[in-house]
Structure 1
Amino acid sequence: MKNTRIFSLMMMLALVFSTAAMAQDQKPKASPATTATGKVGDATVTVNYSSPSVKGRTIWGELVPYGKVWRSGANEATTVTFDKDVMVEGKPLAAGTYSFYTIPAEDKWTVIFNKTAKQWGTQYDEGQDALRVTVTPRKASSMNERLKYDVNNQGLVLSWENMEVPVKITTAKK
């Protein structure tokens, strides 16, 4: 009888501690993983990324320095998947999944599609670049507290803080 009570007490304590531990894991992540997907012509484009917040910080030129490769998200490298061959800013890119990096500047950005998709965001290797293009950022129509990507019929748009970076994508001509 005594052993049964001790066992029951131990099980109850284990249940209480495991419930408390699970409740702690329920906190929202600082940079939650999210996905943007859409059609560009007949190609499906999917962007997988982690979405950091501004949190009162100066983003462009400070948190994200100008002139340096940026993972264009948080945590693991942001990836872009194309289910068909596409043209990015007029240059061909084969169907597949690529890590997505940028080199921000005040007036022009370099957008990079890298062949190594599965990697931590800071493990960039220029030798694995599949394509680099130059795009022009613009002022956003509204403040975006969280980094986000949108896919529309003209391509993809990275938006964060007061900036948008459009990347023109079209279906590759056969």
Structure 2
Amino acid sequence: MKKLFLLTLVTGLFLSLGSSAQQDKSKRPSPPAKVSKTIASGAEISVDYSRPSLKGRALSALAPVGKVWRTGANEATVFETSKDVKIEGKTLPAGKYGLYTIPGDDEWTIIFNKTWKQWGTVYKDSEDALRVNVKAGKSSENTEVFTFDIADNGNVSMMWADTKVVFKVR
């Protein structure tokens, strides 16, 4: 009887762990999204991220000015390129990178970190592959849900609230 009870308990534990490991990410409050584009250089670039919503909060409360932000929600946002590319004129080798940012009032720092498969709040600047600074602009519309877009010319846009930040990938 003890063996049957123990076997039932262990089986139940494994089943509950297995079901939580298979969580449907689309049901999260900040669901996943992915954008991809083959740019003029022939490189395929993609951004795999989660999409937080403002829900009445200020952008600065979610992406604080002057502090490293995970650039999305949940796991680290992943920027991937199939070939070496130039980001704002600086070389980034082909591969996958954790994408972080440091928001500013007029300028944002875009960070490509070598460690990409991790929870988004885990960040070590010693693992940075590249940092570039770009101007922050105002968007013509207010964007409730954080959004990435990749244009045919390789411009990658991040839009949230009334802010639009664009970095060039060539």
Question: Do Structure 1 and Structure 2 share a fold, with TM-score over 0.5?
Answer: yes
Q: 2: distance between equivalents of 1:65 and 1:117? A: 21
Q: When the two structures are superposed, what TM-score results if normalisation uses the length of structure 2?
A: 0.82
Pairwise CA distance, 1:43? 1.1
5+ residue gaps, structure 1, are: 1-24
Alignment match, 1:127 = 126
RMSD between superposed Cα atoms in Å: 1.5
Distance 1:150 1:53 in 2: 16
2:160 equivalent in structure 1: 160
> Structure 1, residues 42-63: CA drift from partner, whole Å, max 9, x if none?
111110000001111111x222
Match of 1:10 in 2: none
Q: Distance in 2 between matches of 1:168 and 1:128?
A: 22
The sequence identity of aligned pairs, in percent, is: 46
Q: What is the identity, as a one-letter code, of the residue corresponding to 2:107?
A: K
Q: Which residue of 2 aligns with 1:15?
A: none
Report deviation, 1:154: 3.2
Alignment coverage as a number of residue pairs: 145
CA distance in 1, matches of 2:135, 2:25: 39
Q: Which amino acid aligns with 1:62?
A: A
TM-score (normalised: structure 1): 0.80
Aligned letter for 1:102? T
Equivalence map 1:56-135=2 (5 Å)? 56-59=56-59, 61-135=60-134
Q: Are the equivalent residues in 2 in contact too, given 1:156–1:168 (CA < 8 A)? A: yes
CA contact (8 A) 1:39 1:151 kept: no
Rg comparison, structure with higher value: 1
Render the CA deviation track for 1:70-119: whole Å, top value 9, x for unaligned.
00000000000000110000000000000000000101111000000101
